[in-house]
Amino acid sequence: MKPETPLSRWVLALYCLATGFSVAAVVYHQSMTQLIAASFRLPADALWGLSVATQFGYGAGLILGLPLGDTQSPRRLIPGSLLALGLVLLLIAVAPSLPAVIALCTLAGLLSIGGQLLIAYCAKTCAPSERPAVIGCLLSSLFAGLLLARVLAGWGGEHIGWRGVYLTVGALTALLGLAIHRHIRALPPSAQIGYGQMLGQQGRLWLAQPELRRFALIAACFFAASNGIWANLGSLTHSTLHWNAGQTGLLAFTSLVALRSPMLANWLQQRMRWQVAVVLLGVAVAAVSLAGIAVGSWLPMIVAFLIVSDVGVRSVQALTQSRVLAIDPPAASRLNSLYMTVFFFGAALGSWLGGIAVHHLGWTGMYLFPLICALAGLGLLGLPGESRRLARA
């Protein structure tokens, strides 16, 4: 496959499956907490360490593992990460104790970067005319993997048990690692530097790229809004609407609309400057938040709020991440690592600050927090000193 040769539909579909399955490993446990706890004769709240361990592992993978995409052969690194992830998931299925599950979930999170490695790889190898569409498809697969993993793991756990779910997804992930190997080019590393030197250069790369800083911080503001919503929605619906977990879980299906967000972002970029597109998306999030503050906890309002905010956040991510990868394609993995690390930090900060807003203000806080985040993201568009340079990007 030459860089200027379009990807076949079959290869792109394989890439999409690999991307979705890689990131799904971060969230499988979220729908099966009660089942896992019951198997070890523990209360469900004793499993808080599972989410912490998995998220910690994924964050470490973004910082420590993702830059390897520029210094190692992608034909070994990408299939190898998927194959190793599949084997770890199989080990989780037979883990004898909760500490073993937690340790393996940390390792699974660390290895769940195959999708991000694939996105950076395609940024390097796809023709410029093809790149936005391909990256958009992979980002849609990333979003779909997170959504469907929660739904299917919960359904599968009820029918085949949580160990059966991990056995199934572990085998499928490992098979994808084997299948994708022959469809990855044997490219030479784009950076001939040692691992320690590469990590040391990340800080300098961050300081040297104003576009990267701007795009990453804008995306982090919007993703903070998303995590502030979803991390606190369950507790709020339970305390105010008296919904159970199953009823709240149905709201996750509103995220299906956001699967088309990368296509929306690409459509907007073809018709206007990226700053104008971000403004439109931010105004949409702000408008639905203001409507929510006025209307309150009316179910159609909640559904509209979730759909518009998800589409806005995911579209901003697709728009900014695609532009980050285009800054310097040979350094795509290192740029993506810095972008996703800031993005991930925004998610963690959003969960915390959103919880404070909801705790003190209830539904008003739920709607107000995304409004503040969207305005903060829009405010970053006007930072002095870089606007003229970014306008030409």
Given a cut of 80, whether residue 391 has pLDDT beyond it is no
**Which residues are within 8 A (CB) of 242 and not within 5 positions of it... i.e. 6 or more apart?**
none
pLDDT at 94: 95
Per-residue pLDDT tens over the stretch 68-124: 888 888 889 999 999 999 999 999 999 999 999 999 999 999 999 999 999 989 888
pLDDT at 50: 81
Compute the distance between CA of residue 328 and CA of residue 273 in angstroms, rounded to an integer: 20
pLDDT at 385: 44
The whole-chain average pLDDT of the chain stands at: 86
**Which residues are within 8 A (CB) of 391 and not within 5 positions of it... i.e. 6 or more apart?**
273, 275
Average pLDDT of 145-171?
A: 87
Per-residue pLDDT tens over the stretch 245-292: 567 667 878 888 888 888 898 899 889 999 999 999 999 999 999 999
Q: How far apart are the first and last CA of the chain?
A: 28
pTM assigned to the model: 0.79
pLDDT at 246: 60
SS3 at position 286: helix
Average pLDDT of 15-28?
A: 92
| DSSP class of 237 | I
Given a cut of 50, whether residue 3 has pLDDT beyond it is no
- Among candidates 50, 48, 58, which has minimal Cα distance to 23? 58
User: Quick one: tokens of 129?
Assistant: 């005319």
Query: What domains are there in the chain, each with its CATH number?
Result: 9-190 (1.20.1250.20), 209-391 (1.20.1250.20)
Cα distances from 99 to residues 2, 48, 168, in angstroms, run: 46, 12, 22
